[in-house]
Amino acid sequence: MDDRDGAPDPCPVCKRLSTRPHDDCRHDLDRTLAQLPSLYHQLEQALPPGRRGTTSRAPSYGTRLPVRLDSLDLRARGGIEGVLTCWETDVRHHLALPDTPYRGTVEQQINSAVTFLRGNLLWILDQHPAAGDFATDIHNITAHATTVITGEPRERRLRLACPCGATLAITLSTPGRLCACGQQYGFHELRHLDLAPRNAA
């Protein structure tokens, strides 16, 4: 991590101040990445409409769609595959590696991208300028897929008030957040902030 001014940067995953990403945060993100090939397979079982896990409604007119769009979107190119491939391409660019190869099916692309990203995870969290965005994207796509499969409602979003006057949008599993004022909040620090007023920007 860049430490030019002598002060530690926040961990890109949980936002707690640290001289480098925490081992537990890295291991958690590695486990999350490792789940994605399995979640891709499980989404196939969620394709038929009307099964447990349905989060989208069929139109009240016309012909009922033969598949669930939320599951189909995640399994199609640009879904889970799109998130992983975009990040692999970006990491390859930063490391001056050859472009991401075409590997065939969506499943093959997901499996290979997960292998690549897990193999470079330490560098990503230590050196990538958008490591926090990477962690957020991986957690979000995993949570979305899990929601579609299990049928559990998406986590409720809360708006918290920073003493500077800004609001921070989080869910109950948000590991940390950096406020626009520069204040970094870890998981526990966020839980001690007050809820923002309903009319807060």
On the question of pLDDT at 74 being above 80, the answer is yes
Residue type at 69 in one-letter notation: L
- Over residues 67-75, mean pLDDT: 72
Distance from C-alpha of 201 to C-alpha of 197, rounded to nearest angstrom = 9
Give yes or no: residues 107 and 159 share one domain: no
Long-range pairs for 3-9 at CB < 8 Å and ≥24 separation? none
Q: Do residues 100 and 85 touch, judged by C-beta distance below 8 A?
A: yes
Distance from C-alpha of 119 to C-alpha of 154, rounded to nearest angstrom = 30
190 versus 62: the higher-pLDDT residue is 190
**Residue 6 pLDDT class (50, 70, 90 cuts):** low
Distance from C-alpha of 12 to C-alpha of 31, rounded to nearest angstrom = 16
Give yes or no: residues 169 and 99 share one domain: no
Ramachandran area for residue 87 (φ above 0: left; ψ -120 to 50: alpha; else beta): alpha
Tokens found for residue 71: 């599951």
**Residue 179 pLDDT class (50, 70, 90 cuts):** confident
Distance from C-alpha of 134 to C-alpha of 83, rounded to nearest angstrom = 9
- Over residues 66-87, mean pLDDT: 82
- Over residues 176-186, mean pLDDT: 80
Give yes or no: residues 59 and 15 share one domain: yes
Please, what is the average pLDDT of the chain? Answer: 80
Distance from C-alpha of 23 to C-alpha of 13, rounded to nearest angstrom = 11
- Over residues 171-197, mean pLDDT: 80
Contacts of 157 (CB under 8 A, 6+ apart): 169, 170, 171
Helix axes 131-150, 80-94, angle to 10 degrees: 160
Lowest mean pLDDT of 11-25, 41-55, 84-98, name the range: 41-55
Give yes or no: residues 173 and 76 share one domain: no
**Residue 65 pLDDT class (50, 70, 90 cuts):** very low
Number of domains in the chain: 2
Give yes or no: residues 84 and 10 share one domain: yes
Give yes or no: residues 111 and 165 share one domain: no
Give yes or no: residues 96 and 193 share one domain: no
| Residues 129-162 pLDDT 10s | 999 889 989 988 998 888 888 876 666 778 888 9
Give yes or no: residues 65 and 19 share one domain: yes
Give yes or no: residues 93 and 56 share one domain: yes
- Over residues 30-38, mean pLDDT: 95
Give yes or no: residues 90 and 101 share one domain: yes
Range of the domain at 161: 155-201
| Residues 46-64 pLDDT 10s | 665 554 444 444 444 444 5
Q: What is the pLDDT of residue 197?
A: 82
Give yes or no: residues 183 and 125 share one domain: no
* CA proximity to 161, closest of 173, 179, 174: 179
Q: Do residues 176 and 190 touch, judged by C-beta distance below 8 A?
A: yes
Tokens found for residue 125: 């969290």
Q: What is the pLDDT of residue 2?
A: 46
Q: What is the pLDDT of residue 21?
A: 74
**Phi, psi of 30, deg, nearest 5:** -65, -45
CA dist list (Å): 12 to 110, 166, 181:
23, 21, 17
Give yes or no: residues 24 and 112 share one domain: yes
